[in-house]
Amino acid sequence: MTKQDARTYSLFTGCLIPSKFPFIENASKKVLESLGLELHFIEAASCCPNQMAIQSSDMHLWYALAARNLCLAEEKGYDILSLCNGCYDTLKTVNTKLKSDDGFRAEINELLESFGLEFRGEIEVKHLVQVLHDDVGVGAIEKAVVNPLKGIKCAPFEGCHAKRPSDSMGFDSPDEPFYLADLIEVIGGDVVFYAEQYSCCGGGLSIARKDDVVPAARRVLCSVKEAQAEAIVVNCPFCFAQFYRSEREIYEIYSEKLRLPVFYITQLMGLALGFTPDELGLWMHYENSVGNERELVMRILGERADESVFTEDVTRPQLEICEKCLACTDDCPTAMTTSDYHPEEILKLVLENKVDEAIKRDDIWFCMNCHECVEACPQDFGMVKLIVRLKNMAAAKGIYPEVVGHRISELHETGYSFAPDTKLREEIGLMRISPPDIKELRKLLEKAACEKSENEGDTDA
């Protein structure tokens, strides 16, 4: 598709995406432009403005600011494409009101005149999924897919403000919306329906009932888990924020580890269209997430998660129990001595398949192998088993403290970590120790190292 026949839009990102989730904007721009759309930013645009705070406190100000944003977009001459349900609702509602009510339009234009602006009603306001579904078309998107989602079970969550009130929103069914589900299916995902699918995310409760925000999110996310979906997919940054942030708090309040990936639709679409995780900025998404998005992305890309840390003794189910308990850290001599030892962070990295990060941490070597944790563990496990496993993996890659290197070298040279001092023994009247045959010992060391390498190769195959 050439630039001349590409559809052109004024991109309205809203406030939340640029301030908290720029990776959503990044993924959306890459997807839209790869599908032949030309995007322009609306220079000097403000908040849409927000309905819950601004509309609820000053309706006239809400209309005036929205009208100003519409006028700025009209100067560009392109329809608005909104990435946010709330922004779409505000701008669409005000655009419709100003177009249909001559008296109100005159009143607003009188206010805007002193700022050199005039609302003319020459553009439309569209939502991201509306543009993708109707203007680009599901057929064109399907042709562009190079890496389908391989049947990943996705739970669509459209949110409220893209579909209600239906008389002004107008592009999708308010009762059984299907646009987002169609987009998930066209990139290879399986759509999962669930009891709370048409509910509200509950983010608006933060205005007056902050304590109810997490329970509202929990109700939806638990419904998604019960339906056995592998991810929840949204088309609104406020819904994204509500679910993305609440998973951690759900664990802290209810001790429920949902591990449910939360994605904005263009992130998954970007993967399906062939963009890499780094190109989409997913590393930024992963940083503060507890939803296990990284592992699901690896599955989509056909990559295996690093499970090499797990053995017959160190298993994922066992570590998941440890994560909920951590009682052993209360009696850990190292943890009581230094504040730089964080076994809970090490455990979290392992469970999130970030083993490479875990083995590079200095504090895995703080564990003194004293087995106090084994005695304290109600499961007879003890974090020492995990820590020793990580130390082994680190050492295999040459990552260890200098003193460990000295001990290893000494073992290869003499057969001892600390070679016997013959002179001191003679002074106190002790007999000379017969040293091991160092050549034979080295053969054993080399053979053991070779077999270890072969076994690890079998594990990775």
pLDDT in tens, 171-208: 888 788 899 999 999 999 999 999 999 999 988 888 87
Give the model's pLDDT for residue 460: 44
Q: What is the pLDDT of residues 288-331, one digit of tens each?
A: 898 889 989 999 998 766 778 989 889 988 988 888 888 778 88
Choose between 75 and 351: higher pLDDT: 75
Closest CA to 410 of 419, 401, 423: 419
Q: Say which residue the tokens 């304290």 belong to.
A: 376
Instruction: Name residue 8's beta-bridge partners.
Output: 38
Interatomic CA distance for residues 170 and 162, integer angstroms: 9
What residue spans of 212-264 are helical by DSSP H? 213-226, 237-254
Mean pLDDT score, 78-86: 96
φ/ψ bin of 255: left (φ > 0), alpha (ψ from -120 to 50), beta (otherwise): left
Tell me the three state secondary structure of residue 234: strand
Residue 334 has pLDDT above 60, yes or no: yes
Choose between 271 and 444: higher pLDDT: 271
pTM: 0.74
Give the model's pLDDT for residue 456: 59
Structure tokens at 202: 């509950």
For helices 102-113 and 85-100, the axis angle rounded to 10 degrees is: 110
Which helix (DSSP H) or strand (DSSP E) does residue 12 occupy? Answer: strand 8-12
140-144, 246-250, 446-450: least confident range: 446-450
Cβ 141 vs Cβ 189: under 8 Å: no
For helices 265-272 and 179-186, the axis angle rounded to 10 degrees is: 20
Interatomic CA distance for residues 390 and 361, integer angstroms: 10
Which helix (DSSP H) or strand (DSSP E) does residue 233 occupy? Answer: strand 231-234
Instruction: Name residue 12's beta-bridge partners.
Output: 82
Give the model's pLDDT for residue 408: 83
Interatomic CA distance for residues 214 and 247, integer angstroms: 8
Give the model's pLDDT for residue 5: 41
- Rg, the chain, Cα only: 30
68-77, 157-166, 315-324, 397-406: least confident range: 157-166
In this structure, the strands spanning 231-234 and 262-264 are parallel
Interatomic CA distance for residues 427 and 433, integer angstroms: 14
CA distances in angstroms from 186 to 7, 191, 261, listed in the order given: 21, 10, 20
Structure tokens at 145: 């897919």
How many residues are there in the chain?
A: 461
Structure tokens at 1: 């598709």
Mean pLDDT score, 143-159: 95
% residues pLDDT > 90 (the chain): 61
Would you tell me how many other CB atoms lie within 10 Å of the CB of residue 430?
11
Give the model's pLDDT for residue 61: 94
Residue 6 has pLDDT above 60, yes or no: no
Give the model's pLDDT for residue 169: 66
Closest CA to 261 of 192, 209, 199, 318: 192
Tell me the three state secondary structure of residue 231: strand
Contacts of 439 (CB under 8 A, 6+ apart): none
Q: What is the pLDDT of residues 367-393, one digit of tens each?
A: 999 988 988 888 888 889 999 999 999
